[in-house]
Structure 1
Amino acid sequence: MENTVSPIKKIAVVGPESTGKSTMSAYLAKHYQTIWVPEYAREYCEKLTEPPTWQDEINMFYGQLALEAGMQPQANKLLICDTTFITVKIWSDQMFGSSPQEVLDELPKRPYDLYLLLNIDLPWEEDPLRDFPEMREHFMDVWYKELDALNANYKVISGIGPERYQGAVAAIDDFLKTAV
């Protein structure tokens, strides 16, 4: 009988600003001995001298897709993604009142196997690329709505320090037990 290798499972670490997505992604990649895809928008926005435009949002969408596709072959069974291009939809809706059509078209076509929605129970940390400390509850509600609209498989991860990491590992381990 031929030995078949299961396809890469994609785990998205998502949530509002300042919920520890990058730190969690790095931790999970180390724990599962794989790689993690950084948030393309962070690097992109660090180079901007003005607020992002509609075209910038489209560029970030395509950049996130390319970065993820380029890194997936290096993954060891799991690809941990520090956010997804859903953030382009969320930010575009907030800033411009609508989203680029290419983003809307691709959302249902590019599901992740599991989303870890990081809760807003961590203290806010200042960062020049963070904009809405007073809107964390609003954006948490938006994430619920977006993931529900996609009929996404997601778990909310709460807690501080080790409790948060243990919750994320438990969610992934539970998923892997039932993954086909």
Structure 2
Amino acid sequence: MQFARNPDDLESVLRLDDVVISGALASMAEAKDRSVSELASRLRDRAFYKAIDVREEIKHALREKAKNKGKRADEDGKMVDRMCANIRERVRQWLSKQAGETPRILVDQDKRDPYKPLQESKGPLNQIRIRLGSDELVDLGDRSKVVRAIEPFQLFRLYVPKDDRESRTFIKKVIAREIDSAPKA
């Protein structure tokens, strides 16, 4: 009801669930707020933003550089992190010059641990326990070197409207400059 009374209020839009959103896309596409209208139209018309996986592009480029020099690519996670941070900052600066418009680039960044150690407060779905010969239950991470060695998964993706060549070109150039300035292997 809050959305129906005030469809231009972003807070009322954020409270909606998937079913209500799907049914309301036509109304939201007519909203006076340009951001709400444009994003709703994109959802309704399936004109989704396209992903550029920055972290993976950097890692791939560094592997190719090493391969071309006949070397094995040793991934330096800290260097990749720095490169991603530099790109994120350049994107932030570029976007700040376009304030007031619907975002032309959406940023998605996360770090996830593939295995979380036992946390009693979170319940049994949070971990894998194994039974020892003594009938004692222990966390898998306490017994397995392989599980302890698993690195956290990190992602850094930028999403751009398919038809926004300027944004896509900007991102590609920023990534290329960052890769070119990487220390030589």
- Bucket of the pairwise TM-score, normalised by the shorter protein: under 0.3
Provide TM-score, normalisation by structure 2: 0.25
TM-score relative to the length of structure 1 = 0.26
Q: Which has the higher contact order (CA 8 A, sep 6+)?
A: 1
